[in-house]
Amino acid sequence: MTHRLRACHDGIMVGVGTLLADNPSLTTRLVPGESPLPIIMDTSLKTPLSCKLMKRTKLPKPIIACSKLKSDKDFIARKEALKKGGATILECDEKDGRIDLHSMLRLLRPYTKSIMVEGGASVIASFLATVGSDSKVPSVVDQLVLTIAPVIVGGLLPYEGIGKAYARRLEEVAYTIVGKDIMVIGHFKDKST
């Protein structure tokens, strides 16, 4: 199911934490369709040159969104090494020590029209935080696809940034069973209406 969803988008985004933990390929290898362009949110450029996304030969190398406020010698050396390795580096504004989503998405416009935000938890939470009824910034999320699997996964605490203050109802909700999973799809209603 994930591979089918990937095939519907031009870009696929993960945070550097997911990259370091899982070393994903982010392809559509299990279904027909073009693999999306990988995008890594990596404020401090911790992306290793040895990761699968940097070792690609037949698919495009990743776009890495980092902070434009970093300028120490190590950061500059990592940036140059990643560029030399084929990555496109986008230097984004920073907000509260993290990449500003609106700045990043503005810089991504020439590269992609639709992005699947696949993970991890803090990247997903930062996107969902823009849909909150009391959010002070415009939402950057159009659609939510939630997969519920019959598996108990331990070790993660709920993300504190999402709670009652961010509660928003999905509109045009559809549910479907895919194998043993339940998929919920819905759109967020525009906050201004």
CB 142 within 8 A of CB 106: no
Instruction: Count the neighbouring beta carbons within 10 Å of the beta carbon of residue 173.
Output: 11
Q: What does the alpha-carbon distance between residue 44 and residue 78 come to, in Å, rounded to a whole number?
A: 9
The one-letter code for the residue type at 126 is S
Picking from 32, 36, 34, the residue whose alpha carbon sits closest to that of residue 24 is: 36
DSSP the chain: -HHHHHHT-SEEEEEHHHHHHH------TTSSSPPPEEEEE-TT----TTSHHHH-SSSPPPEEEEESS---HHHHHHHHHHHHTT-EEEEE-EETTEE-HHHHHHHHTTT-S-EEEEE-HHHHHHHHGGGSTT-SS-----EEEEEE-S----S-PPPTTSSGGG---EEEEEEEEETTEEEEEEEEPPTT-
Q: What does the alpha-carbon distance between residue 40 and residue 21 come to, in Å, rounded to a whole number?
A: 13
> What pLDDT is recorded for position 70?
87
Q: Tens digits of per-residue pLDDT, 9-57? A: 999 999 999 999 999 999 999 899 999 999 999 999 999 999 999 999 9
The more confidently predicted of residues 29 and 130 is 29
Confidence of residue 188 (pLDDT cuts 50, 70, 90): confident
pTM, 2 dp: 0.87
CB 103 within 8 A of CB 92: yes
The more confidently predicted of residues 136 and 55 is 55
